[in-house]
Amino acid sequence: MTRSWKITGGEPLWPEGFAAGPLHVCDGRIVEHSQADTELYDASGSWVLPGIIDLHGDAFEAVVQPRPGVHFPYDLAYAEADRQMISNGITTGYHALTISWEPGLRDIRISRALLTALDEVTHKLTCDTWVNIRWETFAIDHVDEVIGWLAARPGDILSINDHTSANHKLGEDSAKLKRMAVRMGLSPADAKAEIAAVWDRRNEVPEAIDRICAEAAALGRPALSHDDASRADRRTGRARRLTVAEFPTTEEAAREARDAGEHVILGGPNALRGLSHNGALCATQAIRDGLCTVLASDYYYPAPFHAAFRLSDEGILPLAEAWALVSENPAAAVGLTDRGDLSIGKRADILVVNKETRKIQAVFVEGRKVLDRA
């Protein structure tokens, strides 16, 4: 499969903005001039955009387990998620893999099996696929294992999550606890008991967080703080060298991050729908206020693509700036210096999108044309 192209007739999104002109690709990289044996791709009537970089994709869990207790083979699940990501313009994706104390879907044994399976199938996947290791702060017994994964898997990123501090307050009749119980394969009463047992170890949590954050920093791994609710939360994360705010729940926390020049990730579904599904910070308003720099797919792979166009259509951001939320900015947030825009020398991760229909006509990953709907 060729990795050298001359893409003509379209309107590429250059680092300086949209402008008509050919885009040249040689051996999977964007170059200034085409070579003699380059193939032609006619992008007339289309935008030529950098591929989407998705830093947090929870939707993979629903591919693995579409119904409670129903697990599909992991190689099949990775292949299906790969197709979904590519068809929605995601050329670099991070599956959000929760490392938890929970039994059921998030049992550590399943996490281990998923990482093993990913290692085995990575060479077959089209999207450049990595893992957002979502370590739950009460998963104290798995700290050493997570550190080992970070050392062995240099492309992954780390996210620090604490859902237990809120979940231990849930009653057996709460809808959230019932959903957790289904995921855990337990009755609500037994799920409540599991949470209570973990909560009893809360005095061990601060030291575990400090250790895993210090090791991640020493390894040079990008590390994110999840669900910051206050300025104090963000400052605590910053002191631990968590350099990105992932899904802050309040304007206050997001503003603290942006005042410090840090990237803020919010959900693409939030921006697409115009509100948060759980009453947290509204991504649309945050973007208006300059408090959000990155959109992730969260639980819905089509969201980043469509959210960028919604922001443009509603006059919230010009398309070039809206597209940066799903390409250039996520690359910068986690140190992916080789992609994210159409600069000379960058990876040729490219989307061709029909201006009239907004249909993705073609996807290129490192110069390989992996989707063609023209």
Which pTM was predicted? 0.95
Between helices 205-219 and 143-152, what is the axis angle to 10°?
Answer: 10
pLDDT score, position 105: 84
3-state SS class at 240: coil
- 249-252's contacts with Cβ under 8 Å and 24+ in sequence apart are 249/280, 249/281, 250/280, 250/281, 251/281, 251/286, 251/289, 251/291
Contact assessment for residue 346 and residue 23, using Cβ atoms and an 8 Å cutoff: no
Alpha helices in 260-313 (DSSP H): 268-273, 283-288, 303-313
Instruction: Give me the domains of the chain, ranges plus CATH numbers.
Output: 1-50+341-374 (2.30.40.10), 51-340 (3.20.20.140)
- Rounded CA separation 361/371 (Å): 8
Q: Which residues of the chain have pLDDT under 70?
A: none
Q: Using CB atoms within 10 A of its CB, is residue 312 exposed (0-12), middle (13-18) or buried (19+)?
A: middle
Q: Quick check: 143 and 211 in contact, CB under 8 A?
A: yes
Side chain identity at 43, as an amino acid letter? A
Report the pLDDT value the prediction gives residue 34, as an integer from 0 to 100: 84
pLDDT at 68: 77
| pLDDT of amino acid 212 | 97
Structure tokens at 244: 């990105």
- Quote the pLDDT of residue 217: 96
Q: How would you classify residue 172: left for phi > 0, otherwise alpha for psi between -120 and 50, otherwise beta?
A: alpha
| Those residues with Cβ within 8 angstroms of residue 43's Cβ, 6 or more apart along the chain or in another chain | 7, 8, 9, 10, 352, 361, 362
281-300, pLDDT tens digit by residue? 999 999 999 999 999 999 99
Do 349 and 365 meet the contact criterion of CB atoms below 8 Å apart? yes
Helix (H) or strand (E) holding 171: none
Q: What pLDDT score does 277 carry?
A: 76
Query: What is the rounded distance in angstroms from the CA atom of residue 51 to the CA atom of residue 30?
Result: 13
Compute the distance between CA of residue 101 and CA of residue 164 in angstroms, rounded to an integer: 10
48 forms beta bridges with: 12, 352
Are the beta carbons of 254 and 230 closer than 8 angstroms? no
pLDDT of residue 98: 94
Find, among 305, 323, 343, 328, the residue nearest to 23 by Cα. 343
Longest CA span, the chain: 69
Q: Pick from 366, 363, 342, 345: which is nearest to 3 by CA?
A: 366
Distance of CA 358 to the CA centre of its chain: 22
Q: Which are the contacts of 60, defined by CB distance < 8 A and separation ≥ 6?
A: 77, 81, 95, 96, 97
Amino acid identity for residue 126 in this structure: T
Which residues, listed in sequence order, are joined to residue 157 by a DSSP beta bridge? 132
**C-beta atoms surrounding 169 within 10 Å:** 11
Closest CA to 307 of 268, 266, 274, 275: 268
Over residues 85-130, the pLDDT tens digits come to 999 999 999 999 999 999 988 899 999 999 999 999 999 999 999 9
Residue 355 in 3-state DSSP? coil
**Cβ neighbours of 65 (radius 10 Å):** 17
The residue among 146, 119, 117 whose CA lies nearest residue 223 is 146
- 77-90 as b/e: b if 16+ CB within 10 A: bbbebbbbbbbbbb
Cα 11 to the center of its chain, rounded Å:
27
Q: Amino acid identity of 269? A: P
